[in-house]
Amino acid sequence: MIETEFKKKLVDELQQKYPEAIILKNDPNSIQGIPDLTIFYKNKWATLETKKSEKEPHRPNQDYYVDKMNKMSFSAFIFPENKEEVLNDLERSFQTSSRRRSRLSRS
């Protein structure tokens, strides 16, 4: 399976599992290494970097951004071999309560 097919099936699965989520496909030319997908769900967010296989090499800065974003919220490399494990971790991340809430100021 090529990465674009895997990513398409993954997005479809995420949309079925989290119908109220906003799922963005990030522009790979915007910031080198930013993960492929950003998911906004309720008051949470996560990023996923898709790979066609566990053996596919990481591109420059991908490890940096996945690690940095995982410390902020949730981020992971996802490929067919670890898909279920990552989706289970994502589910747990979305279920934990958030201590911080952003509020918009009222004019």
Structural domains of the chain sorted by starting position, each given as residue range(s) with its CATH number in brackets? 3-94 (3.40.1350.10)
Query: Does residue 16 surpass a pLDDT of 50?
Result: yes
Compute the average pLDDT of residues 71-100: 90
Q: How distant, in Å, are the alpha carbons of 35, 59, 71 from that of 29?
A: 11, 13, 24
pLDDT value at position 102? 45
pTM exceeds 0.75: yes
If one counts every other C-beta atom within 10 angstroms of the C-beta of residue 87, the result is 17
Query: Does residue 38 surpass a pLDDT of 50?
Result: yes
Q: How far apart are the first and last CA of the chain?
A: 51
Query: Does residue 98 surpass a pLDDT of 60?
Result: no
